[in-house]
Structure 1
Amino acid sequence: MNTERIAKNVGPARIDIAWQSHGDPAHPTVLLVMGLANQLVHWPIGFLEALVARGLHVVRFDNRDAGRSTHMVDAPPPDLPAALKGDLSSASYTLSDMAADAIGLLDALGIDAAHVVGASMGGAIAQTIAIEHPSRVRSLASMMFTTGDPSVGQVHPETAKALFGAGLPQTRDAYVAAAVRRYEIVGSPAFPVDPAAIAEMAALAFERDHDELSIARQAVATVASGDRTERLRALRVPTLVVHGLADTLCDPSGGRATAAAIPGAELVMIEGMGHNLPPGLWERIADHLVANIGRAS
């Protein structure tokens, strides 16, 4: 079932969630949770195929304020600089709300529990799902993110300057060009990606949704959710933490801290991997995920 669908009245917020599944629904379900400003289409098809080939049923979806899921357009204007200084008054929701959306989607699909895999901010959402809804999580994988502790997982200053120094692109062509440039900055130096493939994905994402404020709302939600370290220590679920040693958007210290906080977590640090999922790593990461899922059997 590769057709994109919309689940209505999902979770406590009763919002719409766009979703898509791949593979046999009778197989174990992997719920893929994407990161800040990204959509379900940012999970590469080749990576999904690697998981399906290993006997898994894969569900990917748009978080609130992304893609074709509900955008919180009536929320107060987000103020990220203020949030970073401690003023969280502009937060219209938190990662707990986004976790509840994901659980609501599982409810809508009739899935009692899933193997939850998050990338970037999606890693924080996945962690929150495991913390707050432990009975719904068979295994956890947190990739290229951190615990919420501000002393680890920081963006490198030169990367912040390069990515956030200018305003958001307003046109399709500018958005595509910015996406290609972003991958040059935060991608994996040892595992190059064809710029044409990046441009194609960016064009698709732009056509599905372009909402500047939604990115800031998600960012404020992440900041407002605070440090999860102590709550992570209480988890009792098979956990995999994957982080690239060349990641400058979320320093590798974030992955190390995540694995250190979760009892029994396996930490996989990959030389030459940045803040993306390049084709050269799809099979390798899929193997690690399957091994972690096997620990939950």
Structure 2
Amino acid sequence: MKVTANGLQIEVDDTGGEGRPVVLLIMGLGMQLVAWPNGFVRQLVDAGFRVVRHDNRDIGLSQGFDHAGTGNIVWETVRHRLGLKVRSAYTLQDMTQDSIGVLDALGIPKAHIVGASMGGMIAQRLAASAPQRVASLVSIMSSSGARGLPGPRREVTAMLMRRPLGRSEAELVAHSIKLLRLIQSPAYPQTDEELAERLTFSMRRSYRPAGLMRQMLAIGADDDRPQILPRIQRPTLVLHGEADALVPIACGKDSAERIPGSTFIGIPGMGHDLPPQVCTILANHIAPFAHAVDAKEKP
């Protein structure tokens, strides 16, 4: 369903029913709400939560920004490396306001905020800028964005720069599988057939590469987040795969070190994806953490 959030039309999925503590799931770069697997959502619902997912602006079925153009990603990357300000059509704080707007539209005063990758960056900003809306923060396979942290492995960076061989659905899916193979959880590999089924479903739902580029620039422009993380006062759990080839585990550790009182948990064999086994591990950390926060704050 669509809601008006922060003045935009945002696609939302709301599962589990009212009267339960809410978990708001925020997805990463270029990824749609369906990238949170249904099985993961069901595990959280079975644990007693109402689970809200949404397509971030410019992705999936939410409102786009094609009128803003895509900018020059190569030049902006050079500017970032030189320490200059990256120019973007919108900011991660704008996307944070979208997430708050989703809570407003659904009449939800407070939620457990769970973000993955770029979604973790947005979740961090939400906890820092609107603590009254946050029961707890869970940052998954994300980063503080601090300069000097390690980046993707060389082969991952090379694949990210490579273009698909063509524009047919089969060629786009094959290209995406090659990338996913490089960043997958080595302890929990998925078959090409499983990956192709998920990618094809997602692509047929929505395919918006220009939105991904604009979101990438928003990440590059988000250069003050390391300074705001120490403001976070809500209970925080940082989860990160020990085998993450896209966002190395040092990035998650740095986030945890900057957030007062946070708990860091490294997950062996987990990369930068959400196969069923990893979803179960994550749910088994998130559910008791959130329930403990709720129990502690009950009068």
Q: TM-score, normalised by structure 2?
A: 0.92
Compared with structure 1, are the counterparts of its residues 152 and 207 closer, same or farther at alpha carbon in structure 2 (3 Å cutoff)? Answer: same
Please say if 1:6 is aligned against 2:11.
no
Q: Which residue in 1 is equivalent to 2:122?
A: 125
Q: Which residue in 1 is equivalent to 2:53?
A: 60
Paired with 1:88 and 1:80, the residues of 2 have a C-alpha distance of: 13
Q: Which residue in 1 is equivalent to 2:293?
A: 296
Q: Which residue in 1 is equivalent to 2:73?
A: 80
The one of 206, 218, 224 aligned to 1:221: 218
The one of 255, 259, 263 aligned to 1:258: 255
Please say if 1:164 is aligned against 2:161.
yes
Paired with 2:156 and 2:98, the residues of 1 have a C-alpha distance of: 31
Q: Does the CA-based 8 Å contact 2:113-2:123 persist in structure 1?
A: yes
Q: CA deviation at 1:167?
A: 4.8
Q: Deviations over 1:118-155 (max 9, x none)?
A: 00111101111111111111100111110011211511
Please say if 1:27 is aligned against 2:20.
yes
Q: Does the CA-based 8 Å contact 2:20-2:49 persist in structure 1?
A: yes
Q: CA deviation at 1:89?
A: 5.9
% identity of equivalent residues: 37
Alignment of 1:171-210 (within 5 A): 171-210=168-207
Q: Secondary structure at the match of 1:67?
A: coil
Please say if 1:108 is aligned against 2:105.
yes
Please say if 1:36 is aligned against 2:29.
yes
Paired with 2:85 and 2:261, the residues of 1 have a C-alpha distance of: 33
* Structure 1 runs not aligned, ≥5 long: none
Q: Does the CA-based 8 Å contact 1:168-1:212 persist in structure 2?
A: no
Task: Judge which range, 206-215 or 158-167, deviates more.
Answer: 158-167
Please say if 1:51 is aligned against 2:44.
yes
Paired with 2:252 and 2:119, the residues of 1 have a C-alpha distance of: 13
Q: Does the CA-based 8 Å contact 1:76-1:90 persist in structure 2?
A: no
The one of 209, 212, 220 aligned to 2:209: 212
Q: CA deviation at 1:172?
A: 1.5
Paired with 2:29 and 2:99, the residues of 1 have a C-alpha distance of: 15
Paired with 1:168 and 1:244, the residues of 2 have a C-alpha distance of: 31
Runs of 4+ that moved beyond 6 A: none
The one of 235, 258, 272 aligned to 1:238: 235
Of Structure 1 and Structure 2, the greater helix share is in 2
The one of 148, 153, 166 aligned to 1:151: 148
Q: Secondary structure at the match of 2:112?
A: strand
Q: TM-score, normalised by structure 1?
A: 0.93
Paired with 1:80 and 1:106, the residues of 2 have a C-alpha distance of: 32
Work out the number of aligned pairs and report it.
290
Please say if 1:93 is aligned against 2:86.
no
Q: Secondary structure at the match of 1:263?
A: coil
2:43 partner amino acid: A
* Structure 2 runs not aligned, ≥5 long: 295-299
Q: Which residue in 1 is equivalent to 2:275?
A: 278
Paired with 1:77 and 1:287, the residues of 2 have a C-alpha distance of: 39
Task: Judge which range, 175-184 or 231-240, deviates more.
Answer: 175-184
Task: Judge which range, 183-192 or 280-289, deviates more.
Answer: 280-289
Q: Deviations over 1:37-81 (max 9, x none)?
A: 110111111111111111111011100010000010111432222
Q: CA deviation at 1:263?
A: 1.0
Paired with 1:143 and 1:169, the residues of 2 have a C-alpha distance of: 33
Q: CA deviation at 1:169?
A: 5.5
Compared with structure 1, are the counterparts of its residues 140 and 153 closer, same or farther at alpha carbon in structure 2 (3 Å cutoff)? Answer: farther
CA RMSD of aligned residues (A): 1.6
